[in-house]
Amino acid sequence: LFSGPADFIWAAESTRSLPPMKMLEIAFAGRSNVGKSSLVNALTGRKTLARTSHTPGRTQQLNFFDVNGRFTLVDMPGYGFAAVAKNKVEAWTDLIHDYLRGRSNLARVFVLVDARHGLKDIDNAVMDTLDKSAVSYQVVLTKTDEVKKADLPGRVEATRAALARRPAAYPEIAVTSSRSGAGVPELRAAIAQLLAE
Ligand code: GTP
Ligand code: MG
């Protein structure tokens, strides 16, 4: 599934300019700088497919990538904060919620959460939208290479406990690092499984 080409196909800055719904889509959502674009690159094995940056606010549109002609990965702008004007972040947040609510070929949303910081209110707001729209999602802890090995199980458990307070969260948490590659094969397998269903 991931051994073939991966290509950028489309960028949308509003829901009026989305590409046709030809294949299943898998979207990456999360606060600015959490590592969405880096994870798209790690999964596809292409270091510079999605543009990454140290500065929060790099991804400013919904970016669509065709993977091997089989499905589409969607790298989203970050929500919550960014090194750009506040009204821009608000516009992205509206775009994210509109897209997540209205895309019938959306097979799963990965909600990325920095393993060092855990779930924030704004993550819960996005998951509320997903719950209301009956969109399947999974929380993905990122940047686990930045967490001391001994601390990681506690971080995972804290996230699990926070998710357990939600009405309908998918229980499994993916534990990843784009830098070390930890959890990336497992995420690829999860995507393959989804597409096979
Ligand atoms: P926006 O598009 O601005 O919302 O950010 P993003 O969520 O796409 O994050 P991006 O992939 O651009 O990464 C943000 C920063 O985090 C960059 O400096 C990355 O190098 C770094 N980063 C991403 N993944 C990891 C990781 O697994 N470990 C570490 N240590 N740093 C990471
Ligand atoms: Mg990005």
Residue 68 lies in a domain: yes
Ligand 1 center–CA 91 separation, angstroms: 21
Give 65-84 pLDDT, tens digit per residue. Answer: 999 999 999 999 999 988 88
ipTM at complex level: 0.99
- Residue 35 forms part of a structural domain: yes
**Structural domain of 17:** 6-196
Sign of CA dihedral 35, 75, 120, 161: negative
pLDDT at 169: 66
Q: How far is the CA of 149 from the centre of ligand 1 (A)?
A: 20
Relative to the CA of 51, which ligand 1 atom is closest? 12
Residues bordering ligand 2, an ion, CB closer than 5 Å: 36-37, 58-59
pLDDT of residue 36: 98
Residue 51 CB contacts under 8 Å (≥ 6 apart), including other chains: 37, 58, 59
> CATH no. for residue 110?
3.40.50.300
In a domain, 59, yes or no: yes
Q: What is the pLDDT of residues 18-39, one digit of tens each?
A: 999 999 999 999 999 999 999 9
Report if pTM > 0.90. yes
Domain count of the chain?
A: 1
DSSP-assigned states of every residue in 56-119: TT---SEEEEEETTTEEEEEPPPBS--SS-HHHHHHHHHHHHHHHHH-TTEEEEEEEEETTT--
Q: Is the per-residue pLDDT at 140 higher than 90?
A: yes
Q: What is the mean pLDDT of the chain?
A: 95
Q: Name residues contacting ligand 1 (CB within 6 A).
A: 30, 32-38, 52-54, 56-59, 77-78, 142-143, 145-146, 177-179
Q: Which ligand is nearest to the CA of 179?
A: 1
91 pLDDT tier (thresholds 50, 70, 90):
very high
* Residue 1 included in any domain: no
- The rounded distance, in Å, linking the Cα atoms of 34 and 125 is 16
